[in-house]
C-alpha cells in the first residue's frame, strides 16, 4: 500500500512539474509575442512619423520656394542721396511685378545705370528668413559682382523700419525729383501705413538706414573748392 501511495505521489509530482513547465513555456511565448508586437508597433509608428515629417518638410520647402518666387516678382528700388546741408533727395524709384528672371535682369540693369551716372552707389538687399532667403541673397550678390552690395537681415515690421526716415520726411528734409514714378511714390507715402502697397516706403526706409550707417556723420566732399557737392559721393539705393 505504501508503495502504491508513493507511486501516486510521484505521478502527481511529475504532472505538477510538467504543468509548471508548460505554464512557464506559455508565459514566455506570450511575453515574446508581446515584445514582437510592441517592436512591430514601434516600427510602424516610427515609419508613420518619418513619412509625416518628410511630407511636412516637403510642404515647408515648397511653401518657401513659392514665397521666394512670389517675393522675387516684387521688383523695387529707391535711389536716395544726401546733400551737404543734411537734406535727402529721392532721385529715382521703381516698383514692378515681373517674372523672376526679369527681376534679376532689372536689378542688374538699374545697378549698372546708377553706377554709370552717380559713380559711387551702394546697393542694400534685404535677406528673407531661413536657408532659402540666405541662398537667394547670395545668388544676388554673386550676380552683382563688381558692385558694392550690402545684405541685411531686416528686423521689425515695415512701420517700425519707416520711423527714422518718416521723421526726416515730416520735418521737410526730403526732396523728390519729378519723374514718371513720382505720383506712385507719393501715393504710397501718403497712404502709409494703411495702404496694402508699402514696398516703395520700405525700400526708401532701407536706403535711408544704409545711407546713414555708411555716412557715419560725414558730409559728401565738395568739387575742387567750388562748394558744389559731388553727386558721385552720396547716392545709395
- What the block records as the C-alpha cell of 70 is 512670389
Could you tell me the pTM of the whole model? Answer: 0.56
pLDDT at residue 8, as a whole number: 67
pLDDT at residue 228, as a whole number: 46
pLDDT in tens, the chain (237 residues): 556 667 667 777 777 777 788 888 888 888 888 888 888 878 888 888 888 888 887 777 666 655 555 554 455 566 788 888 888 989 888 887 777 778 888 888 888 988 888 878 888 888 888 888 888 889 889 999 989 888 888 878 888 888 999 899 889 999 988 888 889 888 888 888 888 778 888 888 888 988 888 764 444 445 455 544 444 434 444
Pairwise CA distance, residues 23 & 14, whole Å: 14
**What does residue 196 show for φ and ψ, rounded to 5 degrees?**
-80, -15
Compute the 3-state secondary structure of the chain and give helix, strand, coil in percent, each to the nearest 5. 60, 15, 20
- What the block records as the C-alpha cell of 131 is 536657408
**Overall size of the chain counted in residues:** 237
Choose which CATH entry (2.30.29, 3.30.420, 1.10.357, 3.30.460) describes domain 75-236: 3.30.420
Domain boundaries, the chain: 1-72, 75-236
Helix axes 130-143, 100-118, angle to 10 degrees: 50
pLDDT at residue 64, as a whole number: 60
The beta strands (E) that lie in the chain are given as 74-82, 88-97, 121-126, 148-152, 174-176, 235-236
Amino acid at each position: 500500500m505504501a508503495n502504491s501511495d508513493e507511486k501516486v505521489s510521484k505521478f502527481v509530482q511529475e504532472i505538477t512539474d510538467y504543468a509548471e513547465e508548460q505554464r512557464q513555456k506559455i508565459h514566455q511565448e506570450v511575453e515574446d509575442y508581446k515584445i514582437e508586437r510592441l517592436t512591430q508597433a514601434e516600427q510602424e509608428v516610427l515609419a508613420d512619423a518619418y513619412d509625416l515629417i518628410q511630407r511636412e518638410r516637403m510642404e515647408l520647402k515648397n511653401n518657401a520656394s513659392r514665397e521666394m518666387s512670389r517675393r522675387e516678382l516684387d521688383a523695387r528700388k529707391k535711389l536716395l542721396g544726401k546733400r551737404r546741408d543734411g537734406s535727402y533727395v529721392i532721385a529715382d524709384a521703381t516698383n514692378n511685378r515681373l517674372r523672376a528672371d526679369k527681376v534679376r535682369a532689372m536689378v542688374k540693369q538699374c545697378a549698372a545705370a546708377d553706377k554709370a551716372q552717380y559713380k559711387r552707389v551702394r546697393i542694400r538687399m534685404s535677406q528673407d528668413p531661413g536657408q532659402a532667403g540666405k541662398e537667394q541673397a547670395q545668388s544676388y550678390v554673386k550676380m552683382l559682382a563688381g558692385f558694392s552690395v550690402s545684405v541685411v537681415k531686416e528686423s521689425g515690421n515695415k512701420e517700425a523700419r519707416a520711423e527714422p526716415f518718416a521723421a526726416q520726411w515730416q520735418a521737410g528734409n526730403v526732396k523728390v525729383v519729378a519723374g514718371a514714378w513720382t505720383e506712385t511714390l507719393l501715393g504710397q507715402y501718403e497712404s502709409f501705413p494703411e495702404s496694402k502697397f508699402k514696398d516703395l516706403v520700405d525700400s526708401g526706409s532701407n536706403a535711408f538706414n544704409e545711407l546713414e550707417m555708411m555716412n557715419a556723420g560725414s558730409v559728401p566732399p565738395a568739387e575742387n573748392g567750388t562748394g558744389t557737392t559731388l553727386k558721385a559721393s552720396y547716392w545709395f539705393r
